[in-house]
Structure 1
Amino acid sequence: MNQIKSKLLLNQCQDYLVKLGLEFVAKKALYLTQGVNNTCFRVETQCGKILLLKHFDRENNFKVTLVEQYLAKESVVPNVIATSEKHKLIAYQFIESVEFNKPLHLQSLVTKLVVLHNLNSDYDYEEINLSALFSSYTELAEYKNYQATINLLLAKLKNYPYELGVCHNDLVLENLLFSDNDSWIIDFEYVGLNDVYFDLAALSSSLKLSEQEKSQLLSVYFEQSNISEEQLEKLNLYQKVYNLICYFWYLKHGFTRHALALKPFIND
């Protein structure tokens, strides 16, 4: 049965290669389990090239490839090899990610974020509304336990300047790739306008940065030698907001183990 499934998977990926207009012959194919809005495969070809094939399961999400293709030219996203709007397919260079190394990779990630946040392309960006985002989770039983906290956090954020940029909005660790000397960002399904601190806060959580490392993050990002208490306070507020959004998202999509792992941070 496993051999039959493997053959079917290989045939499916070969069909995708043809639809992308690529002349590669698939040698091995592996279904990758991550992703809610798309289906991904690691495909090794007979010529030795390894590709990541992604099929967008929701038709309207394919338009994010406009952003990704531009960012690939800036080395923010892995190299885009081919796309097919008709078939909602895209092929990237596959990167075997290594473990995150703070001294090595943090500077690289910040550089990539600066490029993203200052992006100017032909894409209809939606501006993220945090109040509306939280309202999409009100049906969850757990929501009422944190409603007062959410209202307080959003009220406090209004006291800080709003620094708008094109944000990824989903910088979980699974959406970051690392090599021995570089880093990349993937999966832009939630790209939109937001305060840049939201992405910086997401990095702080995903990479488990200390207070000192968060100060270094802001210093590199804003090219400032001295970071104010106000900047750190704003980052920490956004980090609490980000952790709560992740917590509710995990609960809503059935990732209970991930939600429980976040519980100590949202109760802090």
Structure 2
Amino acid sequence: MCAGTKCINKKRANPLPLCDAPLRELIKHAFPYLTIRTLCPLNKGLSNKNYYLEQAQQGYLLKHYSSALPTLALEAQSQLAKFGVAQPVVGFDTKTRLALFEFVIESDEVISLNDQLLAQLHTLHGFELPQIDQLDLSGALLEAGRVLDCAPQLALLDQQLAQFEADICFCHNDLVKDNILATPQGPVFIDFEYAQYNDRYFDLAALGVSFSLSVGEAEHMLKRYYRQANQPCPDYALDKLSCYVRAYLWLCIAWYQQRHLQEYVGPLQAQLVVWQS
């Protein structure tokens, strides 16, 4: 999903056709105070439909969720936005499954796994919202094993994960480059649909996969992450991260397989080979 002007300008000349009048009716029901000047579909996002909406020179990102609105995750995102970590939430409506976000202006800077990004991650991991449950990672791996017909392999991986000391905190759970915006104020996280409590290594694994880090580069990321918290990097950190990277990769592969998006599977399988060696 992209929420910056760089991917909008070409769309502004292509307003929604009249056949999308039902969407306008949903918007009218959810946000009656809006007077729509521009409404353009964005070809970003695999799960939900995204639109650029403009009212009186004010731009918004409109998201139409394909399933139930993740209200608690949206509330968490709204609170995190106050700390400059997340894209601000303007409002949402459960009946229409619509959510409206402030339109974040992106800088030309390329997203990098620098200390500023890791500092934002620490802020995210320090956030608390007790109403949100913990991700059932064991259940997710069980389901992935069923989808990919490799249940014994993923059951073994789940046992390996259980051997490490849990480090539970609030996690994004889909922390990939596409969900991080470079802004003049620093990196901002978007798309909190899967945000729940989880082991912090899951987010670190997602970053490692998205930035295609080597094992050595991932170890360096861990050391920088712990250094920012003024904590020693545990001796088991790289082994634990390796397990979480493999878990994250298996879950991603299963997710794409279920949706018949084979073009995304190959690169993930290539990374899995590296981390299983």
How would you bin the TM-score normalised by the shorter chain?
A: 0.7 to 0.9
Report SS of the residue matched to 2:271.
helix
CA, structure 1 residues 114+13, in 2 after alignment: closer, same or farther (shift >3 Å)? Answer: farther
1:129 aligns with 2:136: yes
1:72-105 Cα offsets, whole Å, 9 max, x none, are: 1122211222333454332112235556342xx5
Moved more, 16-25 or 131-140: 16-25
Map of 1:170 onto structure 2: 174
Counterpart Cα distance in 2 of 1:108 and 1:14: 41
CA contact (8 A) 1:53 1:91 kept: yes
Report SS of the residue matched to 1:136.
helix
1:41 aligns with 2:41: no
Counterpart Cα distance in 1 of 2:86 and 2:97: 18
CA contact (8 A) 2:42 2:51 kept: yes
**2:68 counterpart (59, 69, 89):** 59
Counterpart Cα distance in 2 of 1:152 and 1:3: 51
CA, structure 1 residues 216+9, in 2 after alignment: closer, same or farther (shift >3 Å)? Answer: farther
How do 1:111-126 residues align onto structure 2 when only pairs under 5 Å count?
111-121=119-129, 123=131, 125-126=132-133
CA, structure 1 residues 15+138, in 2 after alignment: closer, same or farther (shift >3 Å)? Answer: closer
1:16 aligns with 2:27: yes
CA contact (8 A) 1:10 1:27 kept: no
CA contact (8 A) 2:63 2:98 kept: yes
Map of 1:244 onto structure 2: 250
Counterpart Cα distance in 1 of 2:164 and 2:143: 25
How do 1:146-225 residues align onto structure 2 when only pairs under 5 Å count?
147-222=151-226, 223-224=229-230
Counterpart Cα distance in 2 of 1:120 and 1:207: 27
Deviation at 1:192, TM superposition (A): 1.6
Counterpart Cα distance in 2 of 1:170 and 1:3: 30
CA contact (8 A) 1:39 1:55 kept: yes
Deviation at 1:34, TM superposition (A): 0.8
Counterpart Cα distance in 2 of 1:60 and 1:83: 8
Map of 1:231 onto structure 2: 237
Map of 1:109 onto structure 2: 117
Which letter maps to 1:131? S
**2:110 counterpart (100, 106, 110):** 100
Report SS of the residue matched to 1:169.
coil
Deviation at 1:259, TM superposition (A): 1.0
Counterpart Cα distance in 2 of 1:159 and 1:72: 35
Counterpart Cα distance in 2 of 1:184 and 1:4: 28
Counterpart Cα distance in 1 of 2:202 and 2:41: 33
Moved more, 53-62 or 125-134: 53-62
CA, structure 1 residues 208+100, in 2 after alignment: closer, same or farther (shift >3 Å)? Answer: farther
Counterpart Cα distance in 2 of 1:111 and 1:68: 17
Give the length in aligned residue pairs.
259
CA, structure 1 residues 70+173, in 2 after alignment: closer, same or farther (shift >3 Å)? Answer: same
Unaligned runs of 5+ in 2: 1-12
Percent identity between matched residues is: 24
CA contact (8 A) 1:173 1:207 kept: yes
CA, structure 1 residues 130+84, in 2 after alignment: closer, same or farther (shift >3 Å)? Answer: closer
Deviation at 1:264, TM superposition (A): 1.2
CA contact (8 A) 2:167 2:200 kept: yes
